[in-house]
Structure 1
Amino acid sequence: MRKIILILFLIPFLSSSQSVYETDFNKFLDDYKEYFGYLEEQNVDIENIRNHYLNQAKSIKSKDEFISFMEIVINEFYNGHISLNTNISSSNKIIPTGADIYAEKIGGKYFISDLRKDFPAELSGLKRGSEILKFNDQEIENAILKFLPKSKNIYNKQMYQYALNMLLAGGRKGERKITVFQNNKVLDFFPNKIAFKKYDKLLELRKISEDIGYIKINNSLGNSELISKFDKALDSLLQLKTIILDLTETPSGGNTMVARGIMGRFINQELPYQIHLFNEKPYQTVRKWIELASPRGKAYEGNLIVMVGHWTGSMGEGLAIGFDAMKRADIVGTKMAGLIGAIYIFKMPNTKLGYSIPTEKMYHVNGLPREDFLPRNLTQNRDETYRKAIEISDNKK
């Protein structure tokens, strides 16, 4: 994710009939109407949303109540790249960063498709393929209604996907009781009771064999210190025939400087790696450009295999399509997080709440939207991805 900060300060004008919360709600929707790059793709009708929620906005009495209200409004856009830049104790975790379960609706039922490696859901004993029956003792079909768009009565696959995974991510506080049909039994799991310590390193490095090296990025694509750490790690593996670059734990995105720093170590010439498109709606013009990666330092010229997954988000997705566009790596993994666009940050005039808007559309250099990219070596889950990466590595010896 290339995160561009654009904070708009406006002098609020309140009519005698509008509260600060109603004004900020309308400003949020006005900004989305003008700047959101995916209105058509997400089938979003701003005025329908406004009409549905306006009476609620008029009745809000406190800032915390307004935050909770806006968190519901944001579900109308059903994508993890759209969020407020603040939270309260009742807020839900955002996806994919706050999620450790990836689930899908299949044939009217709900199943766990993937589990985040070494995170609480997996550590609690939940298994891929288990049917999800309840969340916190509520039937799953009813529980997901909280996160489905309220201004619509017909839901597509993407809406169900978003709602289900938001639900299973759980709140920032409180318990998660997940009831599943697993091993021919109805079982309850409590992931939040699992003692859990996140990784404390920007990356992990090891040699898998005499010929294969492995570098895993630990959700640090937004940290400029990663560039020097990556250089040191890569330099220690330059003599190996194959390197596996693991991007399966990059849910929070990052910035293009870090991404270009990584890509630059694998090329000997300037190459295009992604396309940006910004729709200048007021003027009926489009600004479109190709971003290049440039060589940097001593290039690794061996085989490169890039692992991606359901927790490869935003700039992680940009890296994957970049390596694919430059024909520099074999991409292996599941469909990625599908976070849409590059985001700008806006601010409400009265409450000063920040919010993200995906404004620039992002594309593979072949014209494919980034969110639609699928690896040529497609897998179903992270463990299968790792096995496939090793298999490809062995075949290249």
Structure 2
Amino acid sequence: MLRIIIILCVVSSSFGQTKYQNDFENYWKIVDQYFAYFDVQKTDWNEVRRIYQPSVDTIQNDDDFIRLLEMTNNELYNGHIGLNTNLASSSRLIPTGTDIWVSYKNDCFRVSAIREGFPAEKSGIVLGMEITAYNGIEISEAIKRFLPKSVKAHTNKMYEYAANLLLAGTHNSKRSLNVNDSLTFNIENIKNNRPVKLVEAKVIDTNIGYITINNALGNNNTIQDFDKALDDLKNTNGLILDLRDTPSGGNTTVARAIMGRFIKKEAPYQRHRFVYEEKLYGVKRNTIELVSPRGEAYEKPLVILCGRWTGSMGEGMTIGFDGLNRAEIVGTDMGDLLGAIYNYTLPETNIGFQIPVEKLFHINGMPREDFSPKHYILDTQDQLQKAIEIIKESL
């Protein structure tokens, strides 16, 4: 879920301090106070300041400061931590700017997801391949610049974050992947090839409705487009809602509007925990968010498709439908984007950044990032076929 709160930290410059020293201190204090996942990420935030402060003292321009903040963000190793600006040399965002996903196991990085229609797929890379080098550098060496420096030991999650950030590439460099120690794939840079339509709908197989959201959960116009699509499919035998291309997340207004078309009474769909309030005052604050019925309810069988490019609010909708007991979930692990993010702006450089401030949970108490679908299937075409089978069996 994306919640945007702009907070201007007004701190007067200390005598003799550069704007970069002041803004780094602001940045460090905001993360220290509000970041919700230090218990999960295990980052030593005091050690982060010790490691990077000497570099801050020598910075002379904004570009170098942006590079330093990017390195500092990697200490928290999650795609929901980032800046609102980038350089040509900056890595693309995870998962929005990626087209390939690798998982780390037994000292190997294997392809576990490929984004349909994007350069990695078009180059010929397939599921299960082992990535051994990137742009001529052995992958175990190439990922080192993205690994946290403040931790005592690196975990599988850290290795996967670093590898996927590496494979996403930068805005100004080409990508060459060595696979299985014998094949080389040259992959084009990702271009903005987003479909024009926010929502697409059609009838497939034996009168089964299919709706896909084209990374538009943050656009309120999606609501009316979705309503029209669902109304056109109201006489189908069942519906597949494809959330596999929602990496940029969105807002709860759109999410609740969509979920509200599939229920007949108000019900909870996710939990929130406000960690910063407990840190500041020692008082726990937890809330349950509800979704209300909206319009004519579609009551036929429903299947949700999810995957590595189901991000943030897409993840929230997936666990929401599961918590409402309204849909079967088919796919893989999702974008693994932590919590609800808030945006902040540094007062002297005007650089913005985002961090997760609220923890989010399935209605049953499971952390959102730990959710896996009941029907866990890697191949995207097999996922669709399974969804069709589930609807047919339910009839």
Correspondence for 1:144: 143
Q: Does residue 1:204 correspond to 2:200, yes or no?
A: yes
Matched, 1:6 2:6: yes
- Call closer, same or farther: CA 1:45–1:120 in 2, change over 3 Å: same
Q: Does 1:67 align with 2:28?
A: no
Per the alignment, residue 385 of structure 1 pairs with 383
Q: CA deviation at 1:305?
A: 0.3
Residue 286 of structure 1 aligns to a residue whose secondary structure is coil
1:217 is aligned, of 208, 213, 216, to: 213
Question: Residue 26 of structure 1: CA displacement?
Answer: 1.6
Residue 189 of structure 1: aligned partner: 185
User: Alignment partner of 1:152: what SS?
Assistant: coil
Structure 1 residues 151 and 385, CA gap change in structure 2 (3 angstroms): same
CA distance in 2, matches of 1:386, 1:160: 30
The question of whether the paired residues in 2 share the 8 Å contact of 1:124 and 1:194 is answered with no
Paired residues of 2:9 and 2:26 also in contact (CA < 8 A): no
CA distance in 2, matches of 1:144, 1:242: 44
Match of 2:372 among 348, 362, 374: 374
Which of 346, 360, 363 is the aligned partner of 1:362? 360
| Residues 252-282 of structure 1, C-alpha deviations (whole Å, 9 max, x = no match) | 1000000000001001111100111112122
Counterparts of 1:117 and 1:322, CA distance in 2: 25
- SS of alignment partner, residue 2 of structure 2: coil
The aligned amino acid for 2:376 is L
- Name the TM-score, length of structure 2 as normaliser: 0.96
3-state SS of paired residue (2:13): coil
Q: Assess, with a 3 A threshold, how the Cα gap between structure 1 residues 130 and 148 changes in structure 2: closer, same or farther.
A: same
Matches within 5 A, 1:319-338: 319-338=317-336
Instruction: Give the 4+ runs in structure 1 shifted more than 4 A.
Output: 193-196
- Give the whole-Å Cα distance in 2 for the aligned partners of 1:211 and 1:298: 20
Q: Distance in 2 between matches of 1:282 and 1:3?
A: 21
Percentage of matched positions with identical amino acids? 47
How many aligned positions are there?
A: 393
Change (3 A) 1:171 1:233: same
1:53 is aligned to 52
Q: Do 1:119 and 1:196's aligned partners in 2 also have CA atoms closer than 8 Å?
A: no
Is this contact kept in 2: 1:120–1:196, CA < 8 A?
Answer: no
Paired with 2:370 and 2:224, the residues of 1 have a C-alpha distance of 31
Q: 2:125 & 2:116 partners in 1: Cα distance?
A: 12
Q: Give distance in 1, aligned partners of 2:311 and 2:47.
A: 29
Cα pair 1:101 1:116 within 8 Å, conserved? yes
Aligned to 2:253, what secondary structure does the other structure show?
helix
Residue 243 of structure 1 and its aligned partner are, at CA, apart by 0.1
2:309 alignment partner, one of 303, 308, 311? 311
> Secondary structure of 1:40's match?
helix
- 1:164-220 Cα deviation digits (max 9, x unpaired): 100000001220111112xxx722212216888332221221111233110011110
Equivalent-residue separation in structure 1 for 2:205 and 2:100 (angstroms): 31
Is contact 1:273–1:293 with CA below 8 Å preserved after alignment? yes
> Is the Cα–Cα contact under 8 Å of residues 43 and 151 in structure 2 kept in the other structure?
no
Gaps of 5+ in 1: none
Write the letter of the residue equivalent to 1:213. Answer: G
Q: Distance in 2 between matches of 1:228 and 1:278?
A: 32
Aligned to 1:348: 346
Task: Give, in angstroms, the shift of residue 117 of structure 1.
Answer: 0.9
The secondary structure found in structure 2 opposite 1:190 is strand
Instruction: Give the whole-Å Cα distance in 1 for the aligned partners of 2:141 and 2:68.
Output: 20
In 1, the alpha carbon distance for the partners of 2:152 and 2:116 equals 35
Question: Structure 2 matches for 1:1-397, cutoff 5 A?
Answer: 1-16=1-16, 18-181=17-180, 186-192=182-188, 197-279=193-275, 280=277, 281-397=279-395
Q: Decide which moves more: 76-85 or 19-28.
A: 19-28
Task: Please tell me the residue identity of whatever aligns with 1:318.
Answer: G
Q: What amino acid is the match of 2:185?
A: F
Q: How far apart are the structure 1 equivalents of 2:48 and 2:381? A: 40
Give yes or no for contact 2:4–2:342 (8 Å, CA) kept in 1: yes
The separation in 2 between residues aligned to 1:301 and 1:312, in whole angstroms, is: 24
SS in 1 for 2:285: strand
The secondary structure found in structure 2 opposite 1:14 is coil
Q: Is the 8 A contact 1:334 1:381 kept in 2?
A: no
Query: How many Å separate the matches in 1 of 2:9 and 2:108?
Result: 46
Q: Which amino acid aligns with 2:367?
A: P
Spell out, residue by residue over 1:236-264, the C-alpha distance to the aligned partner (whole angstroms, 9 max, x if none): 11111210000011111000000000001
Task: Please tell me the root mean square deviation across aligned C-alpha atoms, in Å.
Answer: 1.4
Q: CA deviation at 1:153?
A: 4.9
- What's the offset of the Cα at 1:110? 1.5
Instruction: For residue 144 of structure 2, give the secondary structure of its aligned residue in structure 1.
Output: helix
Alpha-carbon distance in 2 for matches of 1:278, 1:193: 39
Q: Is this contact kept in 1: 2:208–2:238, CA < 8 A? A: yes
Distance 1:195 1:84, change over 3 A: closer
Q: Does the CA contact (< 8 Å) of 2:304 and 2:327 recur in 1?
A: yes
